[in-house]
């Protein structure tokens, strides 16, 4: 063997050995299979192993979000099928066309399972999601499906689909789900739209009535609070006045009991003192006058003794 042949063989051998060098990029997980059996799942970095023919290294993107369309296909209406895929029966025996998008990612520690499952991953996820959709729709009325499906269904579908694919060891995690299409069949779509408009109108009327009710309740509560404040203030005023009068009476009684010991006629003095004040007040209002002022030439003029009171305005 001449020198040139030796050099060529050495270069070929070096190139062959270089096939055992693999770079796993960030966001990827390597799956090393030796004679078909998985022996390692290295993370990002440079890996040196056996050359091609002994080891095979596949790189799986674990940070990539993959999507599967499940259910109704919008073009299915044009195909003339009696029961298009994704047309589901509700609990009250109505039909709805439902399509969801299921997003999933490969689990970092189960890249080998994902690689082994290969092309079966998407079909199995689709079948699992379809069965979950049929279960959810069949347990609800058409109104509940159409009105609440976009809010309630996605979160429920993520959990149910994940549980149903676990036995298949696909190495994936269902990340999210979204409603892409949720409508009644084309033949009755106009009727459902009219129902939806009427329900919207009813909801508007109900909301307006509730707002009016809440406003009236606030006004009533404000009036109640104001009345309670006025009542409390009046009660406090009357209570204070009564207490003042009671205190004055108690003091006057104590004074009377003390003075009666020295003057047995003190009660008559108190009586005439009080009546004098009453007479003065009655005289100032014209309700009492001296008897001489009512004497006429022929005696006492009774008609002037009780003057007519002036009505209050």
pLDDT tens across 265-284, in order? 777 777 777 777 777 777 77
pLDDT at residue number 304: 47
Output the six-digit token pair for 95: 């039909």
Looking at residues 202-231, what average pLDDT do you find?
93
Looking at residues 61-69, what average pLDDT do you find?
91
For the chain, domain boundaries? 3-61, 66-184, 196-262, 264-313
pLDDT at residue number 310: 52
pLDDT at residue number 83: 67
Q: Please name the residues in contact with 146: beta carbons below 8 A apart, sequence gap of 6 or more.
A: 96, 182, 183, 184, 192, 196
What one-character DSSP code corresponds to residue 52?
A: B
As its CATH architecture, domain 66-184 has 2-Layer Sandwich (3.30)
Over residues 174-183, the pLDDT tens digits come to 999 999 988 8
Cα–Cα distance measured from residue 148 to residue 98, given in angstroms and rounded to the nearest whole number: 13
β strands within the chain, DSSP E: 21-24, 28-34, 37-40, 45-48, 55-61, 66-71, 87-89, 95-106, 172-183, 295-296, 299-300
Say whether pLDDT at 257 is over 90: no
pTM of the model: 0.56
Distances in Å between the Cα of 74 and the Cα atoms of 15, 77, 184 are 52, 7, 12
Say whether pLDDT at 163 is over 90: yes
Percent of residues, the chain, with pLDDT higher than 90: 36
pLDDT at residue number 40: 76
């Amino acid at each position: 063997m001449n020198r040139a042949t030796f050099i060529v063989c050495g270069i070929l051998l070096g190139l062959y050995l270089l096939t055992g060098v693999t770079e796993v990029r960030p966001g990827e997980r390597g799956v090393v299979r030796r004679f078909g059996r998985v022996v390692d799942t290295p993370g990002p970095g440079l890996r040196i192993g056996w050359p091609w023919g002994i080891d095979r290294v596949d790189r799986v993107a674990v940070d990539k979000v993959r999507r599967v369309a499940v259910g109704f296909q919008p073009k299915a209406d044009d195909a003339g099928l009696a029961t298009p895929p994704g047309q589901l029966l509700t609990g009250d025996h109505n039909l709805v066309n439902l399509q969801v998008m299921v997003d999933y990612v490969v689990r970092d520690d189960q890249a080998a399972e994902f690689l082994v499952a290969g092309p079966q991953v998407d079909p199995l996820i689709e079948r699992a999601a379809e069965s979950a959709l049929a279960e959810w729709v069949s347990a609800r009325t058409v109104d509940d499906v159409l009105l609440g499906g976009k809010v309630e269904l996605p979160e429920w579908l993520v959990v149910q689909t994940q549980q149903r694919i676990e036995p298949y060891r696909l190495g994936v995690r269902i990340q999210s789900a979204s409603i892409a299409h949720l409508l009644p069949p084309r033949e009755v779509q106009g009727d459902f739209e009219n129902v939806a408009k009427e329900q919207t109108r009813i909801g508007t009327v109900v909301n307006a009535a509730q707002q009016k009710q809440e406003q009236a309740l606030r006004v009533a509560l404000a009036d109640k609070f104001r009345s309670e404040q006025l009542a409390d203030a009046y009660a406090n005023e009357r209570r204070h006045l009564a207490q003042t009068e009671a205190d004055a009476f108690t003091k006057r009684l104590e004074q009377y009991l003390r003075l009666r010991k020295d003057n047995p006629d003190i009660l008559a003095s108190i009586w005439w003192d009080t009546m004098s004040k009453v007479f003065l007040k009655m005289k100032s209002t014209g309700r009492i006058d001296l008897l001489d002022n009512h004497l006429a030439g022929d005696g006492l003029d009774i008609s002037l003794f009780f003057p007519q009171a002036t009505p209050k305005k």
